Amino acid sequence: MSIEARAIRKYISSSPRKMRRIVNVVRGQSVAEAMNILHYLPQAATRPVSLAIRSAVHNLIDKNPDTKLNEDDVFVKEIKVDAGPMLKRIRPAARGRAHPIRKRMSHLTVIVQAEI
């Protein structure tokens, strides 16, 4: 029998393309292994990903208080990054022109599963 829980983090100020590079590394790993991998990756977007994974694990524990969960039995079943809203800014350029700047945001969804 397996139990699941999820966590959603919205409006992360990192582009979805940068987040997906990190998310693809930890997909399918156990939670302990995923946290270890994220700890040693140099990208700044590892912090929101690790917080979301940790939140999903705590949601799993809160959802099933009578079950004794071992961290080795919990793994990242599904993790995905969607595009959030975009802040549109303008950068002044030469000869009176303006170049657009798009500050992208991400929404992160993590689903963890435990085999009991």
Give the tens place of pLDDT for each residue, 64-114: 988 888 877 899 999 999 999 999 999 999 999 999 999 999 999 999 999
- b/e 45-62 (16+ beta carbons within 10 angstroms → b): bbebbbbbbbbbbebbee
Residue 26: pLDDT over 80? yes
pTM beyond cutoff 0.85? yes
What pLDDT does residue 72 have?
79
Domain region containing 88 = 2-115
CATH number assigned to the domain comprising residue 102: 3.90.470.10
Token output for 15: 């582009």
Domain count, the chain: 1
Task: Say how far apart CA 55 and CA 116 lie, in whole Å.
Answer: 20
